[in-house]
Structure 1
Amino acid sequence: MRYRVADTQRLLLMMNVSSEFISIGGNRNPAAADWDDSGSQLLAFGADNCIALWNPQDEGLHGVQAILSGHTKTVNAVKFFPEQSPNVSILLSGAADNTIKIWCSRRSERFECIKTISSHTQPVTRICTLSGSTTFATGSSDGTVKIWKLVHDADFASIDAELLQTITLLPKYFPLNLALAELDDSSTVLAIAGTRTTIQIYVSRELQFHLSATLTGHEGWIRALAFTRETCDANSDLLLASASQDKYIRLWRLHRGEELPAASSALNVPALGGLVKSLSNKAHWIDSATSKYSITFEALLLGHEDWIYQASWRHRDGKLQLLTTSEDNSLAIWESDPNSGVWVCITRLGEISAQKGSTSATGSAGGFWIGLWSPDGNSVVSLGRTGSWRKWTYSVAEDMWAQQVAITGHIREVKGVSWAGDGSYLLTTGSDQTTRLFSQWKRDATSTASWHEFSRPQIHGYDLNCIDTISNSQFITGADEKLLRVFDEPKGVAEMLNKLCAMETSTSADNLPDAANIPVLGLSNKAIQAIDDEEPVETGNNEDEREAIDPASVTRKSTLDFRHPPFEDHLARHLLWPETEKLYGHGYEISAVAVSRDARLVATACRASSIDHAVIRIYDTKDWLELKPPLKAHSLTVTALHFSPNDNHLLSVGRDRQWVVWERNNTQETTSLYKRKFSNPKGHARMILGAAWTPLLKTPTFLTAGRDKCVKVWQLTDDDDDDTEVKLKTTVAANAAVTAVACNATLSSDGKVVFAFGTENGEMGVGSLPADDDDDDALWDQVDVSMVRTDLLSAKTINQIVWRPGSREEELQVAVASDDTSLRIFNVRDVAS
């Protein structure tokens, strides 16, 4: 019996699937984010080969609202087009797939891609726009900058892009930065810089840009360019900020007229010391169609200790301010002193420089790559190496910038996902070598609970491949390092989850360590105790440095006292879980792990190309000893393991196209705890990638998902002679290789099994199967399946699907881990019920 998913109205009405939560990390590219000053007021950022939309000013803290899929490679540049229409938002994006896409949203509807431009021959590196104009420019690794005109009608019903000019950069270099500004009524100025130490200035004449000046002075690649008017007066001088890998920011003045502007007093700052000789105040002359302009060096801004990635101007409270972000883990806000004219750093946000160079395990931010002003200028956001956003808002009453809750997410493939036994929180793990805990912040009875990352239990040195929860306070992960690690919840995390998420701890908090840390050059999280804020830290024997206590081995109690979801710096440094066990035995990278329903057993497997390595090892969670001999049946990598609802059976599937049902053997203690009961060497035509038991107990039933583009439903049936066999009940065919499958642990109100599957291209289907007593084969011919809406889908392979335990019957929830670096939680509602 074979059922193909059909796009019919009946199927689409059966299940209603909506987005509950999306977590995804941002791309580490200074050009890959922009905050819309008008229209949507959304912040758009590149996330792998997608674009995530987030409203940082949302008081409900709902996080990422939507993800736009369309690019086939990493998104490098994102820019809102300043169309000045409150009902329309235009978004431009450029990616490593050499294309530029134009997205449009009308009247707060979903963004849709309305145009794809394939003019560049190499990855697009930067997009810049010009306020009050239809002109925009794109830069690419092909060594060209292209000037475009956005063509549209009055209500933006029709939108297109017209190529006006292609500028070939000579000598050839990659344009990392572009900046456009209106020079006067007749001309526009374009600044280009990148993998050289010079800035090229182009001026437009008769709709064509011509090279007019080359600015020198920087000693490293130039990472940021930004134009602004010195005052709100449209006739005031233009200022150009350029920031470089040489750790300096240079300001340039574009002055109109035959006479040079007054020399900047900033050149006489004593702090410049020996740099004064290298500061040339040579004037560069450029001409527009109607006027002559001089470009002179204005000021050198000192303060950052490492590469500077971004610079952004903003007029705030009548003052001109410059926001810069740097590899030194800081954001700086600069302002000109009204008396001396010297540019000084008035605010520094971020982390102390002492953490620079630290590993991710000890909490280094790894630099801030993106810094953006909010539309009102009273908030700033920044993206760091970990892919997480940070937000600061200025408080007038306290006259300071206060950090606020932002969003976090994986920056590489999410490989595994697992709910706590009671569904109170969710754990994810992936190729960015982190494990993350997500739960709902329950503020009060009047506000809607919002999802956040509350802990980062594991920050590792190897890619993590799989995860499963043992209890509400313990989990296990498998990585490329060929072993598995077990983690216990620390007291600090337990108390935080109890306070913010109304989550009861399953064990006495007195028996838990306060926190954990990773020793220098180590991979194992060690339990540590928290001390009072006033208590001094013992440094050990000062005569022997080898016995000195690592300052990171202690933490203050105040750092574990949270009144809101933790910020990124706390997640990366203070909210690890102590490691309690290591499980050895496998010879290659761990590929699968499963915990029995009673939490007494753990089954594991590793990547393999022979029957000797493709074994399944069983460990007892009481003493963490392996129950030998291992289970041997597969000849290639076991891709998925799953215990039946009563733990009487263990299901394994593999790349050898085989599924095996292992039956529990409690009668003979001298043999393996599980023995092979059934197997099908040709269960699928191609490798099997997913497996799941249904909650049916009377007639045990399981699902397998394969690269042959189908999900098969198998059932253990009793014949008249009491001999049990496995029958194929039905097949659900998909449009692509099926990589994950899962069943809800409880039956629906009408006694049916609710299941979901995911495919290699990100598609996802939700359906239902007949109940325990449905032996009529005709019922299996009518398996109901509906496909999830396209705009909710992952952009890449779905790796794992897990239903939330304890979900309300009228609205189930399912978590999806994907290669597009996203974690998504969907609400699934049976419309028919």
Structure 2
Amino acid sequence: MTDAHARVEYLAAGGNRHPSAADWASGLLAFGAGQNVALWNPEDERHNGISALLHGHTDHVNAVKIYDDSRKRHLISGGADSTIRIWAPSDQDYPPFKQVQCLTDHQGSINTISVLPELSLFITGSADGTVKVWDLSDTGAKLVQSVSLKPRYLPLTTAIALLADGAVVIAVAGTASSIQLYVREEAGAEFALQATLTGHEGWIRSLDFVQEGNGDLLLASSSQDKYIRLWRLHKGAVATESLTAGAALTVGKEALSNRAHQVGSPSVKYSATFEALLIGHEDWIYTARWAPQTTSCSSPTLLSASADNSLSMWSADEASGVWICGTRLGELSAQKGSTSATGSTGGFWTGMWQPDGRAVVSLGRTGSWRRWQHDKEKDMWLQQVGIGGHTQEVQSLAWATDGSYLLTTSADQTTRLFAEWKREDQRSWHEFSRPQIHGYDLNCIDSLGPNRFISGADEKLLRVFDKPKAIDNLLSKLSGTAATVDGELADAANMPVLGLSNKAVTAAEDDEQPNGIVDGDTDDREVVDPKSVVHKSTLDLDHPPLEDHLARHTLWPEHEKLYGHGYEICAVATSRDGSLVATACKASSIEHAVIRLYETTSWREIKPSLTAHTLTVTSLAFSEDDQYLLSVGRDRQWAIFEKDAEATNSFKPFASNPKGHARMILDCSWAYGAAKHVFATAGRDKSVKIWRVADRSAECVTTIVASSSVTAFAFAPRTSGNGIQLAYGTEDGSIQLATLHEATLRAEKSTPLSKAMCPSGAVTRLQWRPRRSVDGNDLLGVASEDGSIRMLMISG
């Protein structure tokens, strides 16, 4: 590939479920996504989603902070790999940040980071039971002090603030019910414990300081005891002992106490007292964050995010001074329940303010970000388009046969559909549907046309799904795809409360109750949850579905189940004409290492099963003309089955090579066009082999040596004047583009993609979009163990 060039077209990754794993500053929201740091600008009117995934961590990212000082912007991230990594602006277009330092002083998972750019300080808290203080200068970060927490507990949250005379206060809390205040009285001195604030009855998950106009500091603490406590650090004399009216209550076994604690330096003392108790959440509270102070006289407003699926905004009543919840976003507690498509979203792990205070975001259990923006005219918070992605390894992906959308499936037990949102002169990719929300890890998927797909899971069977009319209309309206003839599709789908099968339903009018499930009566196990009823107007949208829609109203009805395998399904492939499905399951014996064929008219199994392998079949592929079926496996061999001319839809052994590779073979693919009877195998032996079928056998004509085990391979769906194009991905996440001479099949060009564009985990699946994009380039879909979905635009 002479002038091979690639750019990132789209990235999708779910956020990590950790209260500290995200931060929002002007024009940038950075959050942990698996072992990557994802960058997103929620204020971007083009809705381009994640702009980059930074990789360096080797385990989940638990804490992220944006560090803005007078010089430049840095990112500070901490992970379960016990490291803190510092990222500085890059001099390249992509990615916009580069890692400049890795700190390994902690001996446990990093849980919290707080920054004080005014004094070039940041602090980190770790599962090793210490809080460390760092100085960040032009030459990098330097450890200033390590504080061992006593009595020993694990810090989950910290907050840092500047006092009036230059003293600095740090609040630390975590797996204990108290908050410790450490103060550094002057520059160069060490932090010392000066006060312990008690009152909470559970672990404390979030701390945040804000300065009031009178010079006082307010500290908000949120806990797993379902309460938020406010603490006042009052400059000067001891603050009044009186409690706010709403706080004079008895919670648990102890009455509320307002004992004053003295903190600060010898020159300026502060009294730390209990200010208010905020009651209203019904489950653990993960974050409590103060709104940005847009004016010096504005009263503080607190945003809290809870496992009860709500965001609450709290402020003090001007007349009485009592803290009240004036705005509540999210879901009503009455809608809590199952975390499937018929229940709740599983709680909000993070709530954050836009830097100007005009919008808020929250991260839910599904890894998706919701966003609300304040409408001044209506004085309402209106939900906007957010972003989302898988939260576990992405096991497989498949393009629709017409290239109109991409399907992905993951160990997070969901199947997701991504398509392009086209409007005027703008285009952006978004999640349009969540066809399958399952109870088992999903391992493989393939498309059976523009309106149907099949997926295999750990439950030992395969399920076939049909596109519902609601999604068809939405894709037609927003993506410009051809609409299906009316009457061919069910209106929508629903999942019974105690079931795993998506049932086709008739969409109800807005003023109607659901009329039940199509195709017969139901029993008690198939009672439809009224919260997930699809009304005809539900998906009549002028924008991609919001997370509320995706989590409940975008299921696809199940068409068929395919039985026969004895273990977890691991591979599936559909014929080019859509008439056949080939499947395989995990196997440690010849008995189960069979390939089962199903025809798609009556969905009956074509017997006998195809046998050739002795261990798990890892990949299956039909040739372009459906003449051959190729299989590869952990037993190091490949096998080809030929269509039987005498028996319809039946295949018989054609050729095999029991020593195709020196180690297990992990993927295979057929070439297209004039080279349609050319195939490739990729293996653990760090090689890709190109084979040509001839005379009831196949010969290896080219071997491409890779730097690591090759885990995924795909031929491009066209041949150009430059030859046959292909891509392969490896266990270390790298992706290589190559070109074969069309006649000799010799490798002519090989170009590695920039590491920044590649995943940080093993590549699990590569597939080219079946049709060329508008500008003549090719789009490559990439699935990875790092939980990300990538679309790379390849030109050459």
Place the TM-score, normalised by the shorter chain, in its bin.
over 0.9
Question: What residue number does 1:384 align with?
Answer: 364
Distance 1:253 1:668 in 2: 83
Question: What residue number does 1:511 align with?
Answer: 488
Partner amino acid for 1:741?
F
Distance 1:575 1:495 in 2: 12
Distance 1:199 1:764 in 2: 48
TM superposition shift of 1:343: 0.7
Question: What residue number does 2:9 align with?
Answer: 20
Question: What residue number does 2:650 align with?
Answer: 673
Pair 1:785 & 2:761 matched: no
Partner amino acid for 2:496?
P
Distance 1:566 1:553 in 2: 15
| Larger displacement relative to structure 2 (397-406 or 177-186) | 177-186
Task: State the Cα deviation string for residues 218-274 of structure 1 (Å, max 9, x = none).
Answer: 00000110011122x6xx1011001100110000011121x222345524568x477
Distance 1:659 1:212 in 2: 70
Task: Give the 3-state SS of the residue equivalent to 1:555 in structure 2.
Answer: coil
Pair 1:823 & 2:789 matched: yes
Distance 1:546 1:435 in 2: 24
| Larger displacement relative to structure 2 (741-750 or 518-527) | 741-750
Question: What residue number does 1:485 align with?
Answer: 463
**Kept after mapping to 1: 8 A contact 2:495/2:528:** no
Partner amino acid for 2:755?
T
TM superposition shift of 1:553: 6.7
Task: Give the 3-state SS of the residue equivalent to 2:303 in structure 1.
Answer: strand
Question: Which of the numbers 569, 579, 591 marks the counterpart of 2:558?
Answer: 579
Gaps of 5+ in 1: 1-10, 153-158, 718-722
**Kept after mapping to 2: 8 A contact 1:264/1:341:** no
Task: Give the 3-state SS of the residue equivalent to 2:45 in structure 1.
Answer: coil
Question: What residue number does 2:500 align with?
Answer: 523
Task: State the Cα deviation string for residues 321-359 of structure 1 (Å, max 9, x = none).
Answer: 111100000011111111111111111111121222322
TM superposition shift of 1:537: 4.9
**Kept after mapping to 2: 8 A contact 1:417/1:468:** yes
Task: State the Cα deviation string for residues 87-120 of structure 1 (Å, max 9, x = none).
Answer: x320001001111001001578521100000000
TM superposition shift of 1:473: 0.3
Question: What residue number does 1:659 align with?
Answer: 638
Distance change >3 Å, CA 267–CA 275, structure 1 → 2: farther
Pair 1:34 & 2:23 matched: yes
Distance change >3 Å, CA 326–CA 15, structure 1 → 2: same
Distance 1:186 1:320 in 2: 23
Percent identity for Structure 1 against Structure 2: 52
TM superposition shift of 1:24: 0.4
**Kept after mapping to 1: 8 A contact 2:682/2:713:** yes
Listed as ranges, the matches of 1:304-323 within 5 Å are 304-314=281-291, 315-316=293-294, 318-323=298-303
Question: Which of the numbers 154, 157, 160 marks the counterpart of 1:180?
Answer: 160
Listed as ranges, the matches of 1:149-228 within 5 Å are 149-152=135-138, 159-205=139-185, 206-228=188-210
How many residues matched? Answer: 783
Distance 1:289 1:198 in 2: 25
Pair 1:346 & 2:326 matched: yes
Question: Which of the numbers 706, 712, 717 marks the counterpart of 1:745?
Answer: 717
**Kept after mapping to 1: 8 A contact 2:6/2:792:** yes
Pair 1:295 & 2:272 matched: yes
Partner amino acid for 2:377?
A
**Kept after mapping to 2: 8 A contact 1:82/1:130:** no
TM superposition shift of 1:699: 6.5
Structure with larger RCO (C-alpha < 8 A, sep 6+): 1
Pair 1:95 & 2:73 matched: no
Distance 2:3 2:661 in 1: 28
Distance 1:794 1:452 in 2: 19
Distance 1:591 1:65 in 2: 32
**Kept after mapping to 1: 8 A contact 2:246/2:276:** no
Question: What residue number does 1:4 align with?
Answer: none
**Kept after mapping to 1: 8 A contact 2:177/2:199:** yes
**Kept after mapping to 1: 8 A contact 2:453/2:466:** yes
Question: What residue number does 1:704 align with?
Answer: 681
Distance change >3 Å, CA 699–CA 645, structure 1 → 2: closer
Question: What residue number does 1:682 align with?
Answer: 659
Task: State the Cα deviation string for residues 128-155 of structure 1 (Å, max 9, x = none).
Answer: 0114120110000000000110121xxx
**Kept after mapping to 2: 8 A contact 1:605/1:617:** yes
**Kept after mapping to 2: 8 A contact 1:415/1:431:** yes
TM superposition shift of 1:555: 2.4
Question: Which of the numbers 599, 608, 623 marks the counterpart of 2:602?
Answer: 623
Distance 2:79 2:790 in 1: 23
Task: State the Cα deviation string for residues 352-396 of structure 1 (Å, max 9, x = none).
Answer: 212223222314110000111111110111101000000011111
TM superposition shift of 1:291: 1.6
Question: Which of the numbers 779, 786, 796 marks the counterpart of 2:761?
Answer: 796
Distance 1:31 1:269 in 2: 28
TM superposition shift of 1:511: 3.0
Partner amino acid for 1:184?
A
Listed as ranges, the matches of 1:452-463 within 5 Å are 452-463=430-441
TM superposition shift of 1:810: 3.4
| Larger displacement relative to structure 2 (790-799 or 182-191) | 182-191
Task: Give the 3-state SS of the residue equivalent to 1:602 in structure 2.
Answer: strand
Distance 2:698 2:526 in 1: 63
Task: Give the 3-state SS of the residue equivalent to 1:132 in structure 2.
Answer: helix
**Kept after mapping to 1: 8 A contact 2:243/2:258:** no
Task: State the Cα deviation string for residues 545-587 of structure 1 (Å, max 9, x = none).
Answer: 8997652574222212111100101101000000010000000
**TM-score, normalised via structure 1 length:** 0.91
| Larger displacement relative to structure 2 (244-253 or 202-211) | 202-211
Pair 1:764 & 2:729 matched: no
Task: Give the 3-state SS of the residue equivalent to 2:334 in structure 1.
Answer: helix
Question: Which of the numbers 81, 95, 100 marks the counterpart of 1:114?
Answer: 100
Task: Give the 3-state SS of the residue equivalent to 2:345 in structure 1.
Answer: coil
Distance 1:420 1:268 in 2: 57
Question: Which of the numbers 36, 39, 42 marks the counterpart of 1:56?
Answer: 42
Distance 2:313 2:90 in 1: 35
Distance 1:735 1:713 in 2: 17
**Kept after mapping to 1: 8 A contact 2:670/2:676:** no
Distance change >3 Å, CA 550–CA 242, structure 1 → 2: closer
Task: State the Cα deviation string for residues 374-419 of structure 1 (Å, max 9, x = none).
Answer: 1111011110100000001111111111100010100000011000
**Kept after mapping to 2: 8 A contact 1:478/1:591:** yes
Question: What residue number does 2:480 align with?
Answer: 502
Distance change >3 Å, CA 686–CA 381, structure 1 → 2: same
Distance 2:92 2:656 in 1: 53
Distance 1:29 1:393 in 2: 23
Distance 1:538 1:470 in 2: 30
Task: Give the 3-state SS of the residue equivalent to 2:367 in structure 1.
Answer: coil
Distance 1:668 1:403 in 2: 57
Partner amino acid for 1:616?
I
TM superposition shift of 1:531: 1.2
Task: Give the 3-state SS of the residue equivalent to 1:362 in structure 2.
Answer: coil
Distance 1:698 1:57 in 2: 48
**Kept after mapping to 2: 8 A contact 1:312/1:372:** yes
TM superposition shift of 1:539: 9.6
Distance change >3 Å, CA 699–CA 243, structure 1 → 2: closer
Partner amino acid for 1:194?
G
Question: Which of the numbers 756, 759, 770 marks the counterpart of 1:805?
Answer: 770
Question: What residue number does 1:255 align with?
Answer: 234
Pair 1:325 & 2:299 matched: no
Task: State the Cα deviation string for residues 675-715 of structure 1 (Å, max 9, x = none).
Answer: 11111101000000010000144671000000000110001
